[in-house]
Amino acid sequence: MSKSKTAAIVLAAGLGTRMKSEKPKVMHPIAGRPMVQNLLATLGKLNLDKIVVVVGPEMDDLEAAVAPHTTAVQYNRCGTGDAVKVGMEALGNFNGNVLVLYGDTPLMTEQTLNAMLEARQPIEGQFAPAVVVLGFLPEEPGAYGRLVTDEEDGELLEIVEANDATQEQLMIPLCNSGVMCFDGGVMPQLLARLSDDNAKGEYYLTDCVGLAREDGFSCSVVEGDEEELLGVNSRIELALAETIAQDRLREKAMKGGATLIDPSTTFFSYDTKIGKDVLIEPNVFFGPGVTIGNGVHIKANCHFEGASIDDGSVVGPFARLRPGAKLAENTHVGNFVEIKNSDVEAGGKVNHLTYIGDARVGAGANIGAGTITCNYDGFNKSRTEIGAGAFIGSNSALVAPVKIGAGAIVGAGSTLTADVGENDIVTTRAEQKRVPGAAERFREAKRAQKEQNKKKG
Ligand code: UD1
Ligand code: CA
């Protein structure tokens, strides 16, 4: 691709008032991470020389979220042209390609950005265009800037903001997505001449096109797809962007060899890793940091985050894996089981109504229904170790810290407060007491009592 140096300026100083939120708009998550990080990840694939993110004052969380990229603070939010000026100062005397992107347009693809850079290359002895604008044909052009082009050669003449456009210009279907690619060497002379004499009283970046033409440079348009150019200004558009991002992730999982019975109810995070021949039933949510091996079967209605499931395991229905849950190969985790910060080693089975926290379940161990690792005493978390091949009877409470040796058997209903040796059998419940025939005598006494009460009235 392009041999000339390339930098990017991402504009993210806006507050996004229409989000009705305490946090900056670009910090709202899409596919499990702030939307600006989705855009930065795409830029990451382009091997750019430098990226500057323009932020507003007091946006510490945003600065942390975009690290290690440089940030530049725009103190007075007086338009996209001013914001780019702030970004250019942070870039120094950069005269390669400068891509300008908006942080609230997070679904941009690598292919489209490459097409923009390509359009900046000179063809057959002609000069390269000084500004390339990414245009699109939205269903509703509404408030988007309109791209005025030459009827004969399609060259871009100017961008008119909707607020400043004539009725005739408003009829132009081709709109400005906001993404532009500049000749960095020409930019300072354009930015220096921007004025705020317009409907909004702002310094419009879009005026750079007209100014470049005044200086004898050409400008051009690359067309993009409406779906990837969606700008997020409200929670409704955030939900739309989420759906588009999810559809891409679903497609990627299926292309990678996973079967999704109902893709529309399978939700991934940007970093979900899925192996081959994985079968995913409906209503499954993957939070960030999940890795699924090959041949795994995930039954309906599960929630996972920060967890890994190795080859051949069967999980769900209704299972919850929290951060640090690591299931080795061929494990079984069943309904209403919650696992946190624990290893279940190969072939381990935790099938019903159980909480496993801060624990190790050894290879092939079987955890009975209703078992609870009591890992928290209100002050400290403690560990439970369950050896390979151990059998924990149903409804046992394992009060941590506690160790159960390999091959041990714990009787149902036990509350363990001390370690169990290898191959021991242990029960902690009270002895069973038998009173022969007592049930019938009990019922007779109760019936007699009822009769007497009736007579009394
Ligand atoms: C802008 C374009 C318009 C285009 C539309 C596409 C201009 C003048 N207009 O309009 O042609 O069709 O985007 O969505 O550029 N920002 C700052 N500092 C500022 C102002 C804005 O950082 O002082 C950032 C915002 O955070 C946002 C982006 O720039 O990420 C766009 O700003 P916004 O005010 O939303 O521009 P639009 O009116 O949508
Ligand atoms: Ca906008």
pLDDT digits (tens, 9 = 90+) for 202-237: 999 999 999 999 999 999 999 999 999 999 999 999
Distances (CA, A) of 144 to 173, 177, 357, 374: 10, 8, 52, 58
* Mean pLDDT value across residues 328-343: 98
Task: Say if residue 290 is in the same domain as residue 172.
Answer: no
Written as one letter, the residue type at 388 is A
Q: Cβ(184) to ligand 1 under 6 A?
A: no
Active site residues: 352
Q: Cβ(178) to ligand 1 under 6 A?
A: yes
451 lies in some domain: no
**How much distance in Å is there from the Cα of 305 to the middle of ligand 2?**
32
Work out the percent of the chain whose per-residue pLDDT is above 90: 95
CA distance 441 to 438: 5
Identify whether the C-beta of residue 232 lies closer than 8 Å to the C-beta of residue 238: yes
Q: Cβ(145) to ligand 1 under 6 A?
A: yes
Question: Given a cut of 60, is residue 2 above it in pLDDT?
Answer: no
**How much distance in Å is there from the Cα of 80 to the middle of ligand 1?**
6
Beta bridge partners of 169: none
Last residue of a domain, one of 208, 229, 250: 229
The chain-wide mean pLDDT, for the chain, equals 96
Task: Say if residue 188 is in the same domain as residue 332.
Answer: no
* Mean pLDDT value across residues 148-175: 96
Considering only CA atoms, which residue is closest to atom 31 of ligand 1?
A: 102
Q: Which of 36, 102, 203, 204 to mutate for ligand 1's pocket (most ligand atoms within 8 Å of CB)? A: 102
1 lies in some domain: no
CA distance 32 to 286: 9
CA distance 280 to 3: 44
Question: Given a cut of 80, is residue 387 above it in pLDDT?
Answer: yes
- The confidence score (pLDDT) of residue 314 equals 99
Task: Say if residue 90 is in the same domain as residue 35.
Answer: yes
Q: Residue 346's pLDDT band (boundaries 50, 70, 90)?
A: very high
Work out the percent of the chain whose per-residue pLDDT is above 70: 99
CB-count exposure of residue 236 (10 Å: 0-12, 13-18, 19+): exposed
Backbone angles phi, psi at 156, to 5 degrees: -80, 125
3-state secondary structure of 449: helix
pLDDT digits (tens, 9 = 90+) for 3-45: 579 999 999 998 889 999 999 999 999 999 999 999 999 999 9
Considering only CA atoms, which residue is closest to atom 22 of ligand 1?
A: 13
Q: Cβ(82) to ligand 1 under 6 A?
A: yes
Mode of pairing for the β-strands spanning 266-267 and 278-280: unpaired
The CATH number of whichever domain residue 97 belongs to comes to 3.90.550.10
Task: Say if residue 113 is in the same domain as residue 177.
Answer: yes
Q: Cβ(13) to ligand 1 under 6 A?
A: yes
Written as one letter, the residue type at 98 is V
Ligand 1 atom with least separation from CA of 55: 22
Task: Say if residue 280 is in the same domain as residue 208.
Answer: no
Q: Cβ(78) to ligand 1 under 6 A?
A: yes
235 lies in some domain: no
Task: Say if residue 208 is in the same domain as residue 273.
Answer: no
Query: Which residues does 13 contact at the CB level (< 8 Å), separation at least 6?
Result: 54, 55, 56, 59, 73, 74, 77, 83
- The confidence score (pLDDT) of residue 37 equals 97
Ligand 1 atom with least separation from CA of 77: 23
Mode of pairing for the β-strands spanning 131-136 and 219-223: parallel
pLDDT digits (tens, 9 = 90+) for 93-110: 899 999 999 999 999 999
Expressed in percent and rounded to 5, the helix, strand and coil fractions of the chain are 25, 30, 45
- The confidence score (pLDDT) of residue 1 equals 44
Q: Cβ(205) to ligand 1 under 6 A?
A: yes
Runs of H (alpha helix) within 282-412: none
Report the C-alpha dihedral over residues 307, 311, 312, 317, rounded to 10 degrees: 20
Domain that holds residue 280: 259-426
Last residue of a domain, one of 176, 207, 229: 229
Q: Per mean pLDDT, which range of 115-124, 144-153, 294-303, 340-349 is the poorest?
A: 115-124
Question: Given a cut of 90, is residue 423 above it in pLDDT?
Answer: yes
Distances (CA, A) of 438 to 212, 264, 433, 451: 101, 59, 12, 20
Number of domains within the chain: 2
How many other C-beta atoms lie within 10 A of the C-beta of residue 193? 14
**How much distance in Å is there from the Cα of 67 to the middle of ligand 1?**
23
**How much distance in Å is there from the Cα of 231 to the middle of ligand 2?**
6
Q: Cβ(14) to ligand 1 under 6 A?
A: yes
Considering only CA atoms, which residue is closest to atom 10 of ligand 1?
A: 144
Identify whether the C-beta of residue 90 lies closer than 8 Å to the C-beta of residue 72: yes
* Mean pLDDT value across residues 257-272: 98
Task: Say if residue 55 is in the same domain as residue 111.
Answer: yes
The CATH number of whichever domain residue 267 belongs to comes to 2.160.10.10
Ligand nearest to the backbone CA of 103: 1
Question: Given a cut of 70, is residue 435 above it in pLDDT?
Answer: yes
Task: Say if residue 182 is in the same domain as residue 285.
Answer: no
Q: How many residues does the chain have?
A: 457
Ligand nearest to the backbone CA of 237: 2
CA distance 364 to 346: 6
